[in-house]
Structures are given as C-alpha cells and as structure tokens.
Chain A
Amino acid sequence: MVTATPDLEADREADLALARRVAGGVPDPELPMLTLADLGVLRDVELAPDGAVTAVLTPTYSGCPAMAEMRAEVDRRLRAAGFARVGIRTVLDPPWTTDWITPAARRTLAEHGIAPPGSAPRPASGPVPLVLSVRRPTLSCPRCGSADTEETSRFSGTACKALWRCRACREPFEHLKEI
C-alpha cells in the first residue's frame, strides 16, 4: 500500500492500478458473470495524494435496486485490499448506456444465454421521436445461433432485459436491451 519509497510516483500508479482492478472486479448482483468494469458502471477511480481512493459509479436504470449493494461491495473490497480511506461517488450524468459494455463482456453474455445489446439509439439533441411499426432487428439465438427469433416481451426479470424466444430450438432467452 501507500509507503514512502524513493519512487513515490510509481507507487501511486501501482496503487491506482490496484484500486481500479479491485473496484472494477466487483460482480454485478443481477448479472454476476459481468463486473462493474465490464458494464461501464464503474466510471472512474481516483487516488488522492493522501491515499484516499474514490470510486465513481453510475446506475444503469434509475430504479436499479442493486446500487446500494454495489456501493457496499466496492467499499468492502477496496478496504480489504488495504485502502484505509474509501469514498464512493454516484454520478447520473452522462446517463449510462449499453454502448459502454465491453466487447469481451458481450461475448460473456452470449455464452451465458443472454443476447447482448446492439448499438444504443443515438442520443437525441431534440425531443425523442416516437417511432411506431418499425421492424426491430432480429437477434440470433444465443443457444443455437438461429436468426428465427421473436420478442415475447419488452420487459423481463430485470429492468435491463427483454424476453425473446427462438423458434428453431424453442428455447426462451433474455436480451440486454440497448439504451
């Protein structure tokens, strides 16, 4: 941890890298195959000159009930890694987007039977237009790869997922919605 050595700057860099790794490695309570870094929920980690570390988190959805759990776990793990002073800062702006999910995490989602999100709709500069009756892109079934799939519900067990089914292998699957 923070110790006085001739090369303080290198130590600081190492501490910061450690803090990033520890905070970023916390699993998401709802999608435990992904970490907060994978999801882009961990926005930043700051290390003050006095050794205080601050993790910056953003919620996925306003109503995400897992935020308190995430904060507690990041705090716990950073302390366990030897950081004595730990702070968590919540940021709402810019709002979270599925575009922040890493490519590796998208592959992990598919391996776990969850169809990863496509590109999020472009952030509108004006009012969001209501677009009716546009055929949504078809997803490939994460189990058998068939493109013969259909949406059964725009919502699923959590706010961030939709429910789909595959007409080829007859299995239902979830889709992480792009926002």
Chain B
Amino acid sequence: MSDDDNAYLGLAEAHEGDEAHWAFGTGFEDPLHGTDTALPPGVDGQALAARCLALGDDALVLAQRLAQWCTRAPELEEELALANIGLDLLGQTRLLYTRAGQADGSGRSEDDFAYLRDADAFRNVRLAELPNGDFAHCVARLLVLSTWRLAVFEGPTTAADPVLAAVAAKGIKELAYHRLYAAEWTVRLGDGTEESHRRMQQALDAVAPYLDELYAAEDVRGQVEAVLRQVADSAGLVLPGTAGLPGSGRDGEHTEHLAPLLAELQSVARANPGATW
C-alpha cells in the first residue's frame, strides 16, 4: 500500500532521512522558492523592503485578529470564513516578508520579521491592530481594510518590482473575495433588524477615525470612498465624516493593543529560539 492510500501508514513508515511524511513538513521553507529574486535596475532595495514590510505587517496583524474569532464567531460558517480570510492574508505576509529580506540584502527570513521584531518596529496601520469588538466591528474593519488593500494592490505602486507585482496580482483575487464577504454582511446587518442596523452603524462610526491614516499611507482615497459609499448606500447606513486621529502606524506609532497581540503571536518562537514548525 502506498502512502497515498493510507494516511496513517504513510506517517508511520520510515523515510530516508527526509520529513516529507509530515503533513506539511516540519519547517516552513521559502515561499518564493526558485523565483528570480534579482532586483530590477533602478529599484531601491531598502525602499522596496520597507514597502513589503508595511504591507506584510498590515496583513499579519489583521490575520491574527481574524484568527482570534475562532470559537467566538456567531456561527461556524463565519468562523470558517474569517479563518480562511486570515489564512489568505498570512500567505500574502509570507511572500512579502520573504521579498523584504531579499530586497534589503539582509537575508532575513519571514520568521525573523514576524517573531523577532518588537511593536515599535511594526509599520501596520492602527486599524488592523484594534482589539476585536462585536461581529459588526469585525465586518466594518474587514470592509475598510480589504477595500483599501485591494485598491493598493491594483494601483501603480506595486508595479516596479516584478515579485511584488506578482504578489499583488495574486492577492487581488483574494481581496476582492474578502471585500465581497464584508460588503454583503454590511448590507445584511445594515438592512436587517433595528438592532443589527444600530450595531453596524456603530461599527462604521468606530472605524471612521482611522480612515485618514489609511489615505495618508496610500494615495487611494477616491477608490476606497467610492466603494464604501456604494456599500453604505445599499445598507441604508451613513458613512461618517469623522476627523482622523493624529499619528500613523506607518511611522511606528501604535496603540497599546499591538504589543500584547505580538506577545501572544511571538511567545512560542521566542521561548524556543531556532525552533521550526
């Protein structure tokens, strides 16, 4: 019987020195394995690395918040949805971190970036790190961040580097799907009961002060506002014109919520230096 016929025998069988019998190996390998990693002429490696890190940090921190919904979502289906969206974002993070380590010449790995930096070195926007609220808050944040990230990936700023451009092209399909999920829930809650409408409006009000930070970081205000207006109109909700909070996660200015999130995310890696998973 071959490994493919019986998973248990496949695991129990001795293999010649490799670890291929473990479901997904015991150690993440380079997700850009074998791709052409040369920097195109005229591309500033440090600037490219900073950009990949910032976009990676946004995705990693939001993925962690989405993962925290496991066992807490209103229904099993939503739990699966949020975990899957988080997994897509984690995949984007891995590619972006790997590219950052190539571009800055340091050769740092995805694990180095994810586990061995403190909160003040992270450049994610603050909206991603805010603690989870109710499900409406989760939907509002996901709507805003997926719409914004999609606009960034569709824009010209990811085009200069072929690897970043390819990560973006792949991410566009995923983000369009995340955005649709969040938009449909916004409409369902906004156009639902009096209570669901109230909570969805409250959630939009709560994320609104963080919008200016997104627009300052990426020049996509027009595209994002058009989509948010479209969704709010369909949902019977009001898009608040709240003034933005000062400061930006892009400058390393974070809320008090990021450090505890990272402490949890990094605890195993830091307690076991050099461990592989």
- Residues in chain A within 8 A of chain B (CB atoms): 27, 29, 32, 54, 59, 61-69, 71-73, 76, 87-96, 126-128, 130-133, 152-159, 163, 177, 179
Contacts and interface: CB of A to CB of B under 8 A. Distances in A.
Q: What DSSP secondary structure best describes chain B's contact surface? A: helix
Interface of B: 4, 18, 20, 23-25, 28-29, 31-35, 77-78, 80-81, 83-85, 87-92, 94-95, 147, 150-151, 154, 162-163, 165-167, 169-174, 176-177, 179-181, 183-184, 187, 223, 227, 230-231, 234
Contact of A152 (B77, B87, B171): B77
Contacts of A27: 4
Contacts of B181: 154-155
Given A63-B87, A63-B89, A130 B179 contact: yes
Contact of B150 (A72, A128, A154): A128
Contacts of B162: 93
B90 A63 contact: yes
B31 A65 contact: no
B184 A132 contact: yes
Nearest to A27: B4
A68 B28 contact: yes
A62 B227 contact: no
Contact of A65 (B24, B172, B176): B24
Contacts of A93: 162, 165-166, 169-170
Given A127-B154, A132-B184, A62 B20 contact: no
Contact of A128 (B31, B32, B176): B176
A130 B231 contact: yes
Contacts of B78: 153
